[in-house]
Amino acid sequence: MLPTKRIEYIDAMRGFTMILVVYSHLAFFSFGDDAMGYNDIFMRFRMPVFFFISGWVFFKAQRIWDWTTVKQILKKKFMVQIIPFAVFFLLYMYVFDILSVDSLGNGKNGYWFTFSLFEYFVVYVVLVFLFQKNAMSDSGELKVLFFVIILSAASFYYSKYYGRYATELGALKGVLGLFSFTKLRYFIYFWFGTFVRKHFGRFVELTDNQYFMALVIVVFVSMIVSPAIYSVDYGVELVAYLLTALGGITLIFTFFRKHEVLFSKERALGNGLQFIGRRTLDIYLLHYFFLPYNLSGIGDILHIYSNKFINAIIMFALSLLLIVFCLFISEVLRLSPFLAHYLFGAKRIEVEMSEDSTRKMKKM
């Protein structure tokens, strides 16, 4: 049985992944180069790891899948994912004067993650409710996996070639964009997170096997150092992305699990990463407002030296600086329990505890 309280190395891993998200956005939005500072490697497993963690945390073995449970889950996830998404999405459009229908498309001005994660919860809940009501039973698991593979593969294909269908699909393309259909390609990694949580003991045994991990490392490195394989054809490209993402997930998860002492609250590194991990939603929603969008000139200078390692150090430093600033803004906004709940999805009990503390302070 897994513990129900927060697991420190999971929070630390989430924090590490959040750093890679900000890192990637600096590379693209600030420096105008997706490949800067090894980001071309990070981006192949960054979002799969993030969605894997979301699925891993979401799975509960003891959950009873009845209609009441489904309604409770969807209501909770709507409050945590969609309300903050809508507020910050509209605020971003207003601040940057982006009043365009295109903003409602696949990327949603960068705010697609929270929207798509809610979709993942909806799809997963519906699939499990229909085919696998007992989460600890193997009955229906293959049916769930079948639909997961179909959705993810269809989304992957569409995301690679959807530009071709502009005239063929007509208004349907706009509808698919509205629901960020291209982002469903990551859904398989969310499911993989629930699968690993369900079979955690077996997964630990497997990843503790030196030969298996050697195979994972060899395959992962082979995919990374062979970029040409991603442009062979659709089928090979899909398999290459899948192997790279699953390899990255397995390596990162196993590293954090085996070194959980290093990432505990008693260590400065662990304490810092955990705090970032507990505030990933805050950072994600806020950082778009403070990204520097005029660093292309600096990027050109850095490219002269063609040293990815130095570029990576600079970008990690900038990412941490931006994250610290976002955390400061987050803490200020969280002084209001109302804002904490509706902007960042803070639980009601946290809001009530904060209000109780405020009342006690007034009485003193």
In a domain, residue 243? The reply is: no
Average pLDDT along the chain: 87
In a domain, residue 73? The reply is: no
In a domain, residue 53? The reply is: no
Are the C-beta atoms of residues 148 and 127 closer than 8 Å to each other? yes
Q: What is the pLDDT of residue 267?
A: 94
In a domain, residue 94? The reply is: no
Domains: count for the chain: 2
CA dihedral (142, 143, 148, 149) positive or negative? positive
Are the C-beta atoms of residues 176 and 155 closer than 8 Å to each other? no
Q: What is the pLDDT of residue 247?
A: 96
In a domain, residue 275? The reply is: yes
Q: What is the pLDDT of residue 311?
A: 86
Q: Which domain holds residue 289?
A: 1-43+268-333
> What are 198-251's pLDDT values in tens digits?
999 999 999 999 999 999 999 999 998 887 777 767 778 888 899 999 999 999
- Give the pLDDT band of residue 361 (cuts 50, 70, 90): very low
> What are 119-162's pLDDT values in tens digits?
999 999 999 998 877 666 666 888 899 999 999 999 998 888 77
Q: What is the pLDDT of residue 360?
A: 47
Q: Give 101 or 161, the one with higher predicted confidence.
A: 161
Residues 10 and 35 in one domain: yes
Per DSSP, which regions of the chain are E strands? none
Residues 353 and 311 in one domain: no
> What are 103-121's pLDDT values in tens digits?
788 889 899 999 999 999 9
In a domain, residue 171? The reply is: no
Check: pTM over 0.85? Answer yes or no: yes
Q: Is the pLDDT of residue 4 over 60?
A: no
Give whichever of 1-15, 100-114, 116-130, 338-352 has the largest mean pLDDT: 116-130
Orientation of helix 141-161 relative to helix 112-131, angle to 10°: 150
Residues 280 and 329 in one domain: yes
Residues 348 and 316 in one domain: no
Residues 326 and 288 in one domain: yes
Q: What is the pLDDT of residue 88?
A: 95
Q: What is the pLDDT of residue 140?
A: 81
Residues 277 and 320 in one domain: yes
In a domain, residue 306? The reply is: yes
> What are 44-53's pLDDT values in tens digits?
999 999 999 9
> What are 249-275's pLDDT values in tens digits?
999 999 999 999 999 999 999 999 999
- Give the pLDDT band of residue 62 (cuts 50, 70, 90): confident
Q: What is the pLDDT of residue 355?
A: 47
